[in-house]
Amino acid sequence: MSAERARVRLMQGNEACVEGALVAGCRFYAGYPITPSTEIAELMSERLPRLGGKFMQMEDEIGSMAAVIGASLGGLKAMTATSGPGFSLKQENIGFAALAEVPCVVVDVQRVGPSTGQPTSPAQGDVMQARWGTHGDHPAVVLCPWSVRETFDLTLRAFNLAEALRTPVILLSDEVIAHMREKVELPDPATVKVVDRPRPVVPPSEYKPYGPAPGDEGREGYVPPMAAFGEGYRYHVTGLFHGEDGFPTGNGEKSAALLRRVNAKVDTRRSELIQVARESLDDAEIAVVAYGCSARSAVRAVREARARGIKAGLLRLVTIWPFADEAIQEAARTAKVFIVPEMNLGQVAREVERALHGAARVVPLPRVDNELFTPDEILARITEEA
Amino acid sequence: MPDLSTYFRTQHMPTIWCAGCGHGIVLGAVLRAIDRVGLDKDRVAIVSGIGCASRAPGYLDFNTLHTTHGRGLAFATGLKMARPDLKVIVVTGDGDLAAIGGNHLIHAARRNIDITTVCFNNEIYGMTSGQFSPMTPTTRLATTAPYGNVERNFDLCELAKAAGATFVARGAAFYARPLSNLIEQAIKHKGFSLVEAVSQCPTYYGRRNKLGAGADMLEWQRTQAVTAEKAAGMKPEELADRFVIGKFYEADAPEYVEEYDKLIQRLKGGR
Ligand SMILES: Cc1ncc(C[n+]2csc(CCOP(=O)(O)OP(=O)(O)O)c2C)c(N)n1
Ligand code: SF4
Ligand SMILES: [Mg+2]
């Protein structure tokens, strides 16, 4: 098979996730099998050792997350993939990665929850867990693909952002996108932009693992350069609040500075981080806000509404956290009703409400019966509101 | 005596440890072992979980990683896979390793991954002020065992051996030199090694169980420790209330990181 043809393939979302990760330079994977994410582990076990990378099936999801962080500190780009129950188990160590600023990618293929729920049925109920799953105020970057090709793109982007910001990035997929097969053309890896973590430019004696790079002093939300263990920098990494030197501190001001900075890494880069996709939104009187699998039905509903002369538009959240407040407010310049179809009891609808500050009315459209929205259902709601 | 001060980050001392705590003695034994093996500081990573024992890495001038409670071995596993060139040593407490981290212990042992684990066993949760651990003997008092511990305790060495560890030993803070010898052997051993180091927590365990101050608890270690050779000739009744020290097990077995690297090489060869 020629390289050209190899790049055009019928593949599953989970497969595209693996391709995206490998192109991004992922060379370590640790995970524990769980439906509907398991194909990612299976493929990684096959592909990684062929590339000189390493795959581990750990004893549980807690250990998987821990091993990923350990490998990242050793200098490898690393990821794990899981689903609801496993995502819950990873949370403590996701917080560790956020505070200790260890880049890594966590894939959560959503299934119905809470608890064991419905392992093989789709849902979108982990939106808030992806934002607030670990304790304390922490930054969150969460990307939400709606197609197989976008799963590739966003996995790659997740690695690039994780490395650039030294923070865990979550790819929030769902059972539909993960298992759906689409014909996709993947980009030539040589043309793809790959970002690596910032590296120290100072000698070990001057290295502060949590201090600014030269030129970044005083910059809000700076990203400290990162050395790998074993490179001669001999620094300390801890989940305790620490100073710029990496050592634990009980000093309230230093603690506050750290907490503010790790959050500011994301808050000061909102415009770079937040991606949305718009369809017919410019003059829309009715805006549909959707993401992941639900957005696939939503876009068809919007097109059908337009065909019937209803001024409907779609705002699709590609980055789900940080939340696209600005894009929602912008849509409210024309739209007075926001319909939010989602496969949960209204997690994003509440965020839309918050972002709007009363500028428009929000119509939640929750669905939790394990069935995908049909375009007709969303269309019916649009028609009702028109 | 080697000058251990070169291994400490003296600017971050004194340690958080109480007067009379055994952890400092055990840490000294770890450093003496590292010194004798002659390891380059840049090539050593010290990884821990959470607890009084697990605070040790912060004071040491190596690549150091203080993780989440019980997870030191899992972090260390990823690190070792990424950097096989590093000597990875996990320092941990009995609660950290035998309770919350028990699953990672048995699986690291099963894989026979080349990591040396030193468990600072004070038979109690020191950091959280004296709750019983899986290593607290039955009937002993703890803040959560006010009527005496109802549970049975682990034999950590037996557990590790059964799980597949290829080097297993126990030492004690009082016998610091033999302890550092055991740790030295463990570091030199290829594969998963566990050294249980009997330590003491006078502040919570000693006081509550009326075992006296640190020195008294060390005296207890002196009189109650029995070498493996001696224990072999003793009856179970004679061994009650005593503990056995020495090297219990050493075996050669395929080491995980090397085996994985062989797989990579094999695939490179197209097979
Ligand atoms: C997930 C989690 N659970 C509980 C704790 C609280 N905690 C901190 S240290 C500790 C026990 C440590 O005991 P051990 O490992 O024996 O170390 P020692 O303090 O005795 O040296 C506990 C329960 C925690 N930090 N994290
Ligand atoms: S509480 Fe116990 S274990 Fe912790 S430092 Fe004090 S004596 Fe040592
Ligand atoms: Mg203890």
Best mutation target, B77, B262, B267, to test chain A (most A CBs within 10 A): B77
Which residue from B minimizes the CA distance to A234? B63
CATH assignment of A275-385, given 3.40.50.1220, 3.90.1300.10, 3.40.50.920, 1.10.150.120?
3.40.50.920
pLDDT in tens, A158-183: 999 999 999 999 999 999 999 999 99
ipTM over the 0.90 cut-off: yes
Taking residue A376's Cβ as centre, other Cβ atoms within 10 Å add up to 13
d(CA A350, CA A369): 20
Beta strands in B39-155 (DSSP E): 44-48, 63-66, 87-93, 115-121
Tokens of A194: 């790959």
Q: Do B267 and A50 touch (CB under 8 A)?
A: yes
Q: Do A74 and B41 touch (CB under 8 A)?
A: no
| Nearest-CA residue for atom 8 of ligand 2 | B21
- CB of B36 less than 8 A from some CB of A: no
The answer to whether residue B270 scores a pLDDT higher than 80 is no
The answer to whether residue A2 scores a pLDDT higher than 80 is no
pLDDT confidence bin for B154, thresholds 50/70/90: very high
Closest CA to B255 of B74, B38, B156, B108: B108
For the Cβ of B69 lying below 6 angstroms from any atom of ligand 1, the answer is: yes
Handedness of CA A246, A241, A228, B119 (dihedral sign): positive
User: Domain B4-268 - what CATH class?
Assistant: alpha beta
Ligand with the closest atom to the CA of B97: 1
Query: Tell me, what's the pLDDT at B2?
Result: 81
pLDDT confidence bin for A5, thresholds 50/70/90: low
Query: Tell me, what's the pLDDT at B269?
Result: 80
Domain limits, CATH 3.40.50.920, in chain A: 275-385
Chain A residue numbers with beta carbons less than 8 Å from the beta carbon of B260 are: 49, 54
Query: Tell me, what's the pLDDT at A4?
Result: 59
The answer to whether residue B158 scores a pLDDT higher than 50 is yes
Share of chain A above pLDDT 90, in %: 98
Taking residue B82's Cβ as centre, other Cβ atoms within 10 Å add up to 27
Q: Mapping DSSP to helix (H, G, I), strand (E, B) and coil, where does residue B40 land?
A: coil
Contacting B with CB below 8 Å, chain A residues are 28, 30, 49-50, 52, 54, 56, 58-60, 62-64, 66-76, 78, 92-93, 96, 228-240, 247-248
Ligand with the closest atom to the CA of B52: 1
Taking residue B122's Cβ as centre, other Cβ atoms within 10 Å add up to 32
Closest CA to A127 of A78, A172, A88, A181: A172
* Vertex B178 angle, CA B175 and B183, to 5°: 115
Closest CA to B189 of B267, B109, B74: B109
d(CA B154, CA B192): 19
pLDDT in tens, A121-163: 999 999 999 999 999 999 999 999 999 999 999 999 999 999 9
Phi/psi at B269 (nearest 5 deg)? Answer: -70, 0
- Give, as one character, the DSSP assignment of residue B131: B
Chain A residue numbers with beta carbons less than 8 Å from the beta carbon of B64 are: 234-237
Ligand 2 center to B143 CA (angstroms): 14
The answer to whether residue B1 scores a pLDDT higher than 90 is no
Atom of ligand 1 nearest to the CA of B201: 20
The answer to whether residue A326 scores a pLDDT higher than 60 is yes
Q: Are B86 and B114 a contacting pair, CB within 8 Å?
A: no
- Give, as one character, the DSSP assignment of residue B51: S
Sequence spans of domains, chain B: 4-268
Please state whether the peptide bond connecting residue A85 to the residue before it is cis, i.e. omega within 30 degrees of 0: no
Q: Are A230 and B46 a contacting pair, CB within 8 Å?
A: no
For the Cβ of B130 lying below 6 angstroms from any atom of ligand 1, the answer is: no
pLDDT confidence bin for B92, thresholds 50/70/90: very high
H helices, E strands: number in chain B: 11, 8
* Vertex A50 angle, CA A49 and A53, to 5°: 40
Average pLDDT over every residue of B112-123? 99
Phi/psi at A329 (nearest 5 deg)? Answer: -65, -40
Average pLDDT over every residue of B62-79? 98
Q: Which of A71, A76, A238 sits opposite B66 (nearest CB)?
A: A238
Torsion angle of the four alpha carbons B172, B178, B184, B188, in this order, in degrees rounded to the nearest 10: -100
pLDDT confidence bin for B271, thresholds 50/70/90: low
- Stretch 174-213 of chain B: residues touching chain A, C-beta under 8 Å: none
Average pLDDT over every residue of A316-330? 98
pTM: 0.98
Count of positions (residues) in chain B: 271
Share of chain B above pLDDT 90, in %: 97
Q: Mapping DSSP to helix (H, G, I), strand (E, B) and coil, where does residue B22 land?
A: coil
Query: Tell me, what's the pLDDT at A1?
Result: 47
Ligand 3 center to A4 CA (angstroms): 59
Best mutation target, A26, A50, A73, to test chain B (most B CBs within 10 A): A73
Q: Do A63 and B77 touch (CB under 8 A)?
A: yes
d(CA A33, CA A40): 9
For the Cβ of B26 lying below 6 angstroms from any atom of ligand 1, the answer is: no
Which residues, 6 or more positions from A120, have their beta carbon under 8 angstroms from its beta carbon? A35, A36, A111, A175
For the Cβ of B23 lying below 6 angstroms from any atom of ligand 2, the answer is: yes
Average pLDDT over every residue of A44-64? 98
Closest CA to A48 of B81, B72, B74, B79: B81
CATH assignment of A3-191, given 3.40.190.10, 3.40.50.970, 3.40.50.11740, 3.90.1150.10?
3.40.50.970
Q: Mind spelling out the 3-state secondary structure of chain A?
A: CCHHHHHEEEEEHHHHHHHHHHHHCEEEEEECCCCCCHHHHHHHHHHHHHHCCEEEECCCHHHHHHHHHHHHHCCCEEEEEECHHHHHHHHHHHHHHHHHCCCEEEEEEECECCCCCECCCCCCCCHHHHHHCCCCCCCCEEECCCCHHHHHHHHHHHHHHHHHHCCEEEEEEEHHHHHCEEEEECCCHHHCCCCCCCCCCCCHHHCCCCCCCCCCCCCCCCCCCCCCCCCCCCCEEECCCECCCCCECCCHHHHHHHHHHHHHHHHCCHHHHCCEEEECCCCCCEEEEECHHHHHHHHHHHHHHHHCCCCEEEEEECEEECCCHHHHHHHCCCCCEEEEEECCCCHHHHHHHHHHCCCCEEEEEECCCCCCCCHHHHHHHHHHHC
Taking residue A116's Cβ as centre, other Cβ atoms within 10 Å add up to 10
Chain A residue numbers with beta carbons less than 8 Å from the beta carbon of B79 are: 70-71, 73-74, 229
Which residues, 6 or more positions from A340, have their beta carbon under 8 angstroms from its beta carbon? A288, A289, A290, A346, A348, A349, A352, A362, A363, A364, A365
Q: Do A70 and B57 touch (CB under 8 A)?
A: no
The answer to whether residue A3 scores a pLDDT higher than 90 is no
- CB of B78 less than 8 A from some CB of A: yes
Tokens of B200: 């003491």
